[in-house]
Amino acid sequence: MSSAIPLNVGIARSAGTATVDADTAKRVLLAEPRGYCAGVDRAVETVEKALEKHGAPIYVRKEIVHNRHVVETLRERGVVFVDDTAEVPEGAVVVFSAHGVSPAVHEAAAARNLHTIDATCPLVTKVHQEAKRFARDDYDILLIGHEGHEEVEGTAGEAPEHVQLVDGPDAVDRVRVRDENKVIWLSQTTLSVDETMETVQRLRERFPSLQDPPSDDICYATQNRQVAVKAMAPECDLVIVVGSRNSSNSVRLVEVALNAGAKAAHLVDYAREVDPAWLEGVRTIGITSGASVPEILVRGVLDMLAEHGYADVQPVTTANETLVFALPRELRTTRR
């Protein structure tokens, strides 16, 4: 959706410099950073390069990233999304999603002679390596994450005899360990930082010798997007998060916005899902997007808001991201 109404995208400024005047015109605060992270960019490009190299159909186990628009666009280009490698014809090309898979999935693919391309985010792979390392040392591993999420299933599958899922602070009382001096926590990469730290605090109250992961498991992009939302939320009558409902990091951004002081917050995939009733009496709207959201969807929301008088767009910058991950070895050529 395009608009003839020009957007006034102001000079980027640091968080905390904005002031609210009750008599000011309608405005949008645009979070920076937002949208694609390095792992998502790598995963989507992996599928695109696989299509170029092998031609359609290319099979992808689960959704390559949790975004409706991305999945639908790739499906139109000949990508077939499946829930299990058993659905992939023997000998075909299958891409593993950015969320990672367990060793059992790799074994099942090998048994069917599938040509596998692994698009697992390197930061997820890091957590897999941590799980294997501490399992070898016979630790109880408390994996903080959401039950049923593909990333959690893949990480837990690296050491199923050692990993216990802890799905938030309320699950802490159910945790049982063999040796309170050999316990470590790891986490899903896309969680709310604040809720994760609350869970860790509760775990540490039960297990004082609980060890931290060697480095942060919640990824840089998840943290950066939450920090940006926290910076602008107190000034916002409304925060709109562009993202899909099955995207953990996008859902967390809605929660973070509300907890940080936004009067209302909503999650939308597309501009057409923005309810005009949300805008009644609203002067300041915050906009951000999840780590699997292409910028074109954010632009669609900005165009729609401009049509309703929100043409003044003021970036709120809290970090600059430059990280790029290499493609899987079999697809490496000059990056686009």
Residue 181 annotated as lining a ligand binding site: no
DSSP string covering 112-168: TT-EEEE---HHHHHHHHHHHHHHHTT-EEEEES-TT-HHHHHHHTTSTTTEEEE-S
215 is in an annotated binding site: no
247 is annotated as contributing to ligand binding: yes
Kindly list the catalytic residues: 151
Which amino acid makes up residue 75? R
Distance of alpha carbon 170 from alpha carbon 182, whole angstroms: 22
Q: Closest Cα to residue 40, out of 195, 230, 190?
A: 190
Question: Is 66 flagged in the annotation as binding?
Answer: yes
Q: Is 236 annotated as a binding residue?
A: no
Confirm whether residue 97 is marked as ligand binding: no
Q: Is 189 annotated as a binding residue?
A: yes
172, 221, 161, 232: which is closest to 196 by C-alpha?
A: 172
Q: From the centroid of its chain, how far is CA 101? A: 16
Q: At 215, which amino acid appears?
A: S
Percent helix, percent strand, percent coil in the chain, to nearest 5: 40, 20, 45
Alpha-carbon distance of 254 to 137, in angstroms, equals: 38
Residue 209 is assigned to a ligand binding site: no
SS3 205: helix
Collapsed DSSP state (helix, strand, coil) of residue 103 = helix
What's the sign of the alpha-carbon dihedral 49, 41, 195, 161? positive
CB 132 within 8 A of CB 103: no
Is 37 labelled as part of a ligand binding site?
yes
Tokens at 8, concatenated: 């006034």
Residue 313: which of 298, 323, 328 has the closest Cα? 298
Which residues belong to the annotated binding site for isopentenyl diphosphate? 66, 99, 149, 247-249, 292
Which residues belong to the annotated binding site for [4Fe-4S] cluster? 37, 121, 219
Which residues belong to the annotated binding site? 37, 66, 99, 121, 149, 189, 219, 247-249, 292
